[in-house]
Amino acid sequence: MATATAAITIRKLEETVKSQLRVQAAEHGRSMEEEAREILKNALNKSAAAPVDLATSVRRRFAAVGGVELPVPEREGMRQAPDLRK
């Protein structure tokens, strides 16, 4: 079963962006049009990825800096429960 395709026109594209697209397309052995389709498809697939929780996001952000090693204090035995019958 064939799927419908659409065409778009991109106006006011900077010449430097067009040149970069041409070079990148040549590096990948594709036409500029095919390269633009791949770029759009990849960008939209990334944004559709599952959201990341805050802790994971912070961990990724500072992974290159390294972690902080904090001393772990000795654990003490459990204290006696209070007698509430008094």
Structure tokens that stand for 86 in this block: 């008094």
Q: What is the four-CA torsion angle of 76, 77, 80, 81, rounded to 10 degrees?
A: 90
Q: Residue 20 — very low, low, confident or very high, per pLDDT cuts 50/70/90? A: very high
Domain ranges of the chain: 15-49
User: What global pTM score does this model have?
Assistant: 0.52
3-class SS string, the chain: CCCCCCCCCCCCCCHHHHHHHHHHHHHCCCCHHHHHHHHHHHHHHHHCCCCCCHHHHHHHHCCCCCCCCCCCCCCCCCCCCCCCCC
Q: Residue 48 — very low, low, confident or very high, per pLDDT cuts 50/70/90? A: low
Q: How do residues 31-41 score in pLDDT, each as one tens digit? A: 999 999 999 99
CA-based torsion, 42, 52, 66, 62: positive or negative: positive
